[in-house]
Chains A and B, each alone.
Chain A
Amino acid sequence: MIVEEIMNTEPYTLAPHNTVREALKLMRDKKVRHVPVVNEELHVVGVITERDIKEALPSSLQDEPPNTAILQEQIANIMIKNPLLGHPLDFVEEVALTFYESKIGCLPIVSGGQLVGIVTTTDLLYTYIELTGATEPGSKIEIRVTDTPGVLFEVTKIFHEHHMNVQSVLVYPDAENAQNKILSIRVKTLNPLAMIEDLRQQGFDVLWPNLPGVSSS
């Protein structure tokens, strides 16, 4: 999946000469935390975040009347200059890694030197939610398997035999044993019982759902 499939293509923007007050109003009105700052040619010259503004504002805990002169100031003075930028063809996984490693919350997306969109951690989180299939009605089944070739085929063969429509498959490492993997599979059914029984009969370690009366593992 690439960034242009998930990015917001109509981001709110500000100009360097806009005031902190204007930036704050935009963020409150539009419920956004990050705004790219662009010049007249739509070149990204900075990013202003809610956190930068909060840090610049005097603490509300101070006793003396707060100095609000900062609200008049241009955002060019407190914005992040030369922010990290992304490209519409970047891979979503790479963007996630950039967010995690650089501890940032948004990435302006630039093509041909101009701003074409923005991706935030919220967009990435929603993509993850979709990947897990949680946006459609279904049941989730977790299976512990050995980390060997062909296992996924053996498992999905049983799903196929039960005419079960698979909504998502996640494979992640088993925290307890590096020789194993955990499969987390979402299927479009209210009644996974017969399939779970078959999986167990074929020797698979179904972690969840447990059948009623069987204690949790």
Chain B
Amino acid sequence: MKKAAFIYSPEQLGYKFSDTHPFNHKRLTLTMDLLKNINALHDIDIVPARVATDEELLLAHDAKYIEVVKKAGHGELSAAQCESYGIGTEDTPVFDNMHEASAQLVGGTLTAVDYVMEGKAEHALNLGGGLHHGFRGRASGFCIYNDSTVAIRYLQEKYNARVLYIDTDAHHGDGVQWSFYEDPDVCTLSIHETGRYLFPGTGNITERGNGQGYGTSFNFPLDAFTEDESFLAIYEAAVREVFEFFKPDVVLTQNGADAHYFDPLTHLYGTMNIYREIPKLVHQLAHEYCDGKWIAVGGGGYDIWRVVPRAWSMLWLEMTDQPMPSGALPKAWLERWQPEAPVPFIPTWEDPTPLYEPIPRKAEIEEKNAQMLIKALHIIRNEKR
């Protein structure tokens, strides 16, 4: 059995809105090139992503919506016809063959699921996936099809599995949460910047699920300007306690890399430290509770030069039990990409310290986050007593 499978097909790069759109899958190319440069990713590790069938997409989406996405991507619909489906907007513009490219991102996550559930690999990674804002009948926030929702339903139907979904993107994982809001056999956990100002606005601790699913939806909204220490304290307590409470058969993690200080769209103050630690804990708990079954997908991440390649490389290194890198980034990689990058690279795996000016209300922010954690976990801590 492989330690881990790296799911990728060049067709996944076809998920491209425009040259200026913040969501840019050039991140995949940059990450893979960085990994190859340090000799941590080999052709034998790479498994091509399949294309999700219509039947599979229907696990999470309306037939009418899929039809609209297909037609829009072939130039057969007017702007007005797309509008109520959330496509053709500034966030999610129409692009050629948008259905095909989107179905390949979903297919990649399904390939990852099959690899892990059929025992071909302990873990599997599809960095092209993680489009957590997609809704049943509507695109939202750069996301057309919701690969995680499709994959979780697929895990339920084909493998009868109990799934824990962990989302560390700086934006709330709303699409996935609402898909399983009433389902007691899927637990969703999202840790994100508070939705008071940031998109999508949801992800309050009071969103705990509904009906049978009450108590299997967890949200940990962090204050803007939250730094590494507080982020990791919340993350570790939340993930550990929810794992212990839910006891999943398999864990699916969404690894958006937009909680970093450099990310242009969010206001969290994480550094590379969080991307070193996040996969470590899940890896350990996946072995403890799920016999190792861990599927990881990508997500947000809008500083595609300085943040995402390093963060996602560390995710793959952790999945494959390779030593965590330190010190200088490979010279060849820096020299190859610096001419294209609009910002100077951080030339090392670690961020320089300090990366930013001290935050004025650091202690209060940490205190507020700690209080939030207590309230959010109250429901399971109470049950244990």
Instruction: Please report A residues at the B interface, Cβ cutoff 8 Å.
Output: 133-134, 136-142, 162-165, 186, 188-191, 193, 208-213, 215-216
Contact = CB atoms under 8 A, between A and B. Distances in A.
Contacts of A191: 22, 90-91, 265
A211 to B, nearest CB: 8
Interface residues of B, number: 32
Interface string B253-270: 000000001111111010
A215 B264 contact: no
B36 to A, nearest CB: 31
Given A137-B140, A190-B91, A191-B90, A209 B201 contact: no
Nearest to A191: B22
B265 A138 contact: no
B202 A189 contact: no
Find the residue from A137, A139, A193 having the highest chain B CB count within 10 A: A137
B136 interface: no
Contacts of A210: 267
A164 B89 CA distance: 8
A163 B93 CA distance: 12
A216 B265 contact: no
B89 A137 contact: no
A140 B196 contact: yes
Interface centre among B89, B174, B361 (most CB of A within 10 A): B89
Given A188-B89, A190-B141, A137 B133 contact: yes
B142 A190 contact: yes
28 contacts: A134-B201, A137-B199, A137-B202, A138-B199, A138-B200, A139-B199, A139-B201, A140-B196, A141-B197, A142-B197, A163-B90, A164-B90, A186-B201, A190-B133, A190-B142, A190-B265, A191-B90, A191-B91, A193-B265, A209-B197, A209-B267, A212-B261, A212-B266, A212-B267, A213-B356, A215-B360, A216-B360, A216-B361
Nearest to A189: B91
Nearest to A138: B201
B294 interface: no
Contacts of B142: 190
B356 A162 contact: no
A189 B90 contact: yes
Nearest to B195: A134
B360 to A, nearest CB: 6
A16 B328 CA distance: 81
A216 B133 CA distance: 28
